[in-house]
Amino acid sequence: MWQGARRAMLERLRGGEYAAACLAIASALFVFAATRPESDLLAIGLIIPALLLLVFSIVKFANLQQGAKIPAARDAFDAWYGSWALADNSLKERPTQEQTKEAFMRESPQAASALRRFHVWPFNERSSAP
């Protein structure tokens, strides 16, 4: 059940490691460029890659922050799913993935949005089991 959530969180953590490395490299490039004369072409040429690495780092850190929402969203789903599946007397059998998605989106739009963004069950098409 938690496999998709763990996978999404690990991807975000790896992204955080890359972001930290890119931020360190960008800092080193900025420091090196700052020690060179303003007219030095090497210093000017290093500013562009440093800026690109900085932007990449910011995006990756933002993704990492979004990934931190996964455990809370998964907990909200776990707390809701059991009671919903048992309380819905109109279902003669186990609810389908589509029924589960629709009902959870109505119950908790924010948690559903986080699970959908990271393709965690029931918002993925690869798996049909909780």
To the question of pTM greater than 0.75 for the whole model, the response is: no
Give the model confidence (pLDDT) of 23-41 as tens digits.
999 999 999 999 998 888 8
CA distance 45 to 33: 9
Tally Cβ neighbours within 10 Å of residue 103.
Answer: 18
Query: Are the beta carbons of 69 and 114 closer than 8 angstroms?
Result: yes
CA distance 13 to 64: 6
Q: Average pLDDT per run of 10 along the chain, which is 130 residues long? A: 66 77 93 88 90 91 80 86 72 74 88 82 58
- How far lies 85's CA from each of 1, 2, 65, in Å? 15, 18, 31
Domain spans of the chain, in order of start? 3-67, 70-117
Q: What is the DSSP letter of 100?
A: H
